[in-house]
Amino acid sequence: MDCSRTPDPTACAKEFFLFRECNRPDGPHMLIEEHLDKYNVSSATIGPVDAPERVNSNTAAFLEKMKETLHLKNFKEKFVAYKW
């Protein structure tokens, strides 16, 4: 890839994106207008997307909901299923 020899500030993101899309089994998705509703985009050009906030309270709330839903009465806080 020519971009890898002298990368721009995006570190060849555009080239990587195009490479990834052209190797999809059904052909490119994010470059085709009728597929844009599947992704968080405002036009045919993919823009930056903010990652969801990761905080422990969200994880703890989800685990509490899961414990209630699955009726996990013997659930331990730091349980590791694969620990020997």
pLDDT in tens, 7-58: 777 777 777 777 777 777 777 766 656 665 666 555 555 555 566 677 778 7
What is the model's pLDDT at position 42?
57
What is the model's pLDDT at position 66?
84
For residue 11, tell me if it sits in a domain: yes
For residue 74, tell me if it sits in a domain: no
> Whose CA is closest to 13, among 47, 55, 59, 61?
47
Residue 76 has pLDDT above 70, yes or no: no
| The pTM of the whole model exceeds 0.75 | no
Range of the domain at 13: 2-38
Please tell me the total count of domains within the chain: 1
For residue 81, tell me if it sits in a domain: no
For residue 55, tell me if it sits in a domain: no
Take residue 20 and report the two structure tokens written for it. 């990834």
For residue 66, tell me if it sits in a domain: no
What is the model's pLDDT at position 45?
55
